[in-house]
Amino acid sequence: MNLTRRSLLAGASALTVLPKFGFASENIDILEARTGAVSLVSDQYPDTQIWGYDGTVPGPEIRVAQGARIQRKLLNSLDEPTTIHWHGIRIDNAMDGVPGVTQDAVQPGDEFDYDFTVPDAGTYWYHSHYNTTEQISRGLYGALIVEEPNAPEVDHDITVLVDDWRLNQDAQIDPDFDRSHDWSHGGRLGNFLKATLIPETSEMQQNQRVRLRFICVATDRIMSLAMVGMQGVVVARDGMPLDAPIRLEQLRLGPAQRADVIVDITAAPGEKAMIGFVGPDQNIVLAGFDITGQASLAARGTVAALPANPVQRLQNVEGVKTVPLVFEGGAMGGLRQGTYQGKLMMAAELIENGQIWTLNGTAGLPIDPLADLSSGETVRIPITNNTVFAHAMHLHGTHFQEIMPDGSFGPLLDTILIEPRETREIAFVADNPGDWVFHCHMVSHVSAGMITWIKVRA
């Protein structure tokens, strides 16, 4: 049959009578938030009951080319509402997944269509943004990898999600998610550290070149990581390539932070290469690789910088809008009062409401934004941590840079770890319109007050 305008029209109308579900399943993958059981610890322990995307933890790795469109239908099969935040993606505000700010929470049995493109290559992740202390602690997260068009040549490209679980003797998740001692201190710290490698890898060869994409998915724990039997460089932080790779020493990743490293295996056949957690009291092997042979010693040369992403970077920060941000509260923080839901409260009343930390004197999401910016405006945010705990501040929708003490600009980040009593300054060009939350990613702290927001006008 010849193709005519008439037959094309008939074809188009035939398409519209296809059942909606059949059409969706061909084109849009479903991510189902639901309960599941996984072998988390070892065969010696019972399976752990988790909440995960498609019932697994981590959820399925999403891996696409730079510039691709991602469509996922979130199906909520949990008994409580949920949403998905696509962490680190310069995304349309409506797809950012923050309940009460960019969308309504997805109720049990309901669904929500996420549909966005990924402008930047790099290592990102997705996770729940509702009742986050509990939902992230129970396993609602996964990796989101955006590949460069010309990725550096490596023998293994491995995503390493590092988590910190609080388990009981039967390997079940401790259900006490709102212990005020956790909230007022360093958060819900676990007793079982686990690295999940995608793809699962247990063998390597000497001289092989390996890309490791570390993602700290822990609820609250800062991860200090060391590599043994491998040598290399850090090539990206929070998804964004560094201008020049820096020599890999120990990595210190706050919750939600990522680092891409490219290493050459130096361990000899018969030895092991390892990824370890460096703790104050003990070191823990998170992953070990048997070295089964020797790859040919082809000269690969030094690792080059990854191609830059098309991101607006800081140019001039002299005389731009400056909005200070001050953290107060927590144990030993001396918080006497703060505003919560528009009402001034004394410390005891704040604590009664589960609010232990304040940003500029306000606990919880304030009515007015921290900054109200016009499109293209540059803003500086000097941050003062008047608490005795570290905080990992995460800005949605755009990356920022640190203004270093010498006036230079640091690497692009979406999450910055601010140490106790420390003062740091960040700045960014506000080129992504919308209402963007800015919060501590120690999720026990955000549940207990550490969240504000920034408005960027179109």
- Using CB under 5 A as the criterion, which residues of the chain lie in contact with Cu ion when the complex forms? 391, 440, 442, 445
Residue number with CB closer to Cu ion (399 or 445): 445
- C-alpha to C-alpha distance for 46 and 58, rounded to whole angstroms: 18
Give the start-end residues of each E strand in 27-121.
Answer: 29-38, 48-53, 62-65, 69-76, 84-87, 111-117
Residue number with CB closer to Cu ion (290 or 422): 422
Residue number with CB closer to Cu ion (194 or 445): 445
Residue number with CB closer to Cu ion (426 or 440): 440
Element (H, E) at 14: helix 5-16
What is the phi/psi pair of residue 184, to 5°? -90, -5
What single-letter amino acid sits at 457? R
Residue number with CB closer to Cu ion (193 or 416): 416
- C-alpha to C-alpha distance for 415 and 394, rounded to whole angstroms: 4
Q: Which two tokens stand for residue 326?
A: 């001050």
Q: Look-up: residue for tokens 């697994």?
A: 56
* Residues 184 and 235: beta-carbon distance below 8 Å: no
Q: How far is the CB of 226 from Cu ion (least distance, A)?
A: 24
- C-alpha to C-alpha distance for 183 and 185, rounded to whole angstroms: 6
- C-alpha to C-alpha distance for 197 and 194, rounded to whole angstroms: 10
Q: How far is the CB of 164 from Cu ion (least distance, A)?
A: 15
Residue number with CB closer to Cu ion (211 or 439): 439
Cα separations (Å) of 338 from 341, 391, 454?
A: 10, 19, 20
Residue number with CB closer to Cu ion (70 or 416): 416
Q: How far is the CB of 257 from Cu ion (least distance, A)?
A: 13
From the list 268, 265, 253, 301, the residue with the least C-alpha distance to 414 is: 253
Q: How far is the CB of 131 from Cu ion (least distance, A)?
A: 17
Q: How far is the CB of 391 from Cu ion (least distance, A)?
A: 3
- C-alpha to C-alpha distance for 263 and 177, rounded to whole angstroms: 38
Cβ atoms within 10 Å of 244's Cβ, excluding its own: 9
